[in-house]
Structure 1
Amino acid sequence: MSDSKVVLVTGCARGGISYEYCKAFAEHKCKVFASDIAQRMDDIDLESLDSYDIAKLELDVSSDQSVESAVNTIISKCGHINVVINNAGIGSTCPLAELPLETIRRAWEINTLGQLRLVQ
């Protein structure tokens, strides 16, 4: 095990700010775990960051089992987690009154409960 900081970043598919978080932490010699749901793992494009210490990790913040498994994987490999960037989330572009309740439930599960699940 190393003394380097261990960072977990959620919601890393399709580039964007998660990619930049991963890059910035890796540039500071951190061990970074870039995570997303199984269906989006191929969308985590870190090829240009191969020289950094970044690993892909499957993690669905809406699943207790997935969160537990991902955290246990990191703990078994590194012994600890220093930083969590809770970036996983989904958006909706409509007034709440016009959205189906199932859409609101899914957003609540991922955007609110998912964040809390990972922190706990």
Structure 2
Amino acid sequence: MSKVVLITGGSSGIGKSVGDYLTQKGFTVYGTSRSPEKYTANNFPLIGLDVTKTETILEAVKIVIEKTGRLDVVINNAGVGITGPIEEIPEQEIKNNFETNFFGPINVIKAVLPQMRKQQSGLIINVTSIAGYMGLPYRGIYSASKGALELVTEAFRMEVKAFNIQMTNVAPGDFATNIASGRYHAPVLENSPYKNQYGTSLKLMDSHVDAGKNPLEMAKAIHQIINSPNPKVHYKVGEFMQKFSIVLKRILPDKIYEKLLMNHYKL
């Protein structure tokens, strides 16, 4: 019997690429979207789900279990970007980002654990970000939300091992998706002391996404993880230098690493 996979944020970008690829490989895939009716040409079914609304999470999980009787793999992929000087980002936008990128995945995990415990099996893959390994200028809130998910996964996976449930993180670098168009951009204000630096950094960030890798690489990496008998705690998928930046952070003195980042972002 093919494994049943649930992917949050499955209507576009990395989520859609993963869903398409796993469908081709014979998995039974269900994706989610806040507006599934907009995507009629999908290769796998989409279920309505908003990760910021717990009732929709519970309903979507219930639908999949009723249709298939099980739930083998859950991919917490839904997420949103956010950019801006931390001083100028409205508090509500910071909270909104954590609701989607941090509390949303936790609530999805809580919703699926009873079924996986009943099966005595399951795999949960949390899509984080290489940005979550370091505080990036003008992306600090995004770094914080993804870094928080990385750490909570480390704890969570130890708590669920006794039930034969596995959990892992996959941290992508820049991929050619529509994340830049969907993220919250604090406006570049004319009278802002950050105007020039933030404006330059914003153009650099957008160019990185536009020149990013093909999301199919993430799909292939996730397929390998699903087929792994003992997934690692952390995976990184992206350009060599993006992955190497994590190694440099471990071995370089803090101020030297900070200087490298500032040079990179032309600060």
Verify same fold: TM over 0.5: yes
Query: Percent identical across equivalent pairs?
Result: 31
| Structure 1 residue runs of 4 or more that deviate by more than 2 Å after TM superposition | none
The alignment yields a C-alpha RMSD, in angstroms, of: 1.5
Tell me how far 1:96 sits from its aligned partner.
2.1
Would you say 1:66 and 2:66 are equivalent positions?
no
Spell out the pairing of 1:36-75 with structure 2 (5 A cutoff).
Answer: 36-38=33-35, 41-43=37-39, 45-46=41-42, 49=43, 54-75=44-65
SS in structure 1 opposite 2:82? Answer: coil
Quickly say closer, same or farther: Cα 1:41–1:110, change in 2 above 3 A. farther
**Which letter maps to 2:64?**
I
CA distance in 1, matches of 2:91, 2:41: 33
CA distance in 2, matches of 1:91, 1:18: 15
* Equivalent residue, structure 1, for 2:2: 4
Instruction: Say whether the 8 Å CA contact 2:10–2:46 is kept in structure 1.
Output: no
Question: Is the radius of gyration larger for structure 1 or structure 2?
Answer: 2
Tell me how far 1:90 sits from its aligned partner.
1.2
Aligned length: 110
- Normalized against structure 2, the TM-score is what? 0.39
Would you say 1:27 and 2:27 are equivalent positions?
no
**Which letter maps to 1:113?**
F
Quickly say closer, same or farther: Cα 1:44–1:16, change in 2 above 3 A. farther
CA distance in 2, matches of 1:18, 1:88: 8
Would you say 1:114 and 2:104 are equivalent positions?
yes
- Normalized against structure 1, the TM-score is what? 0.84
Structure having greater relative contact order (Cα 8 Å, sep ≥ 6) = 1
Unaligned residue ranges in structure 1 (runs of 5+): none
**Higher normalized helix content (fraction of residues):** 2
Instruction: Say whether the 8 Å CA contact 1:12–1:44 is kept in structure 2.
Output: no
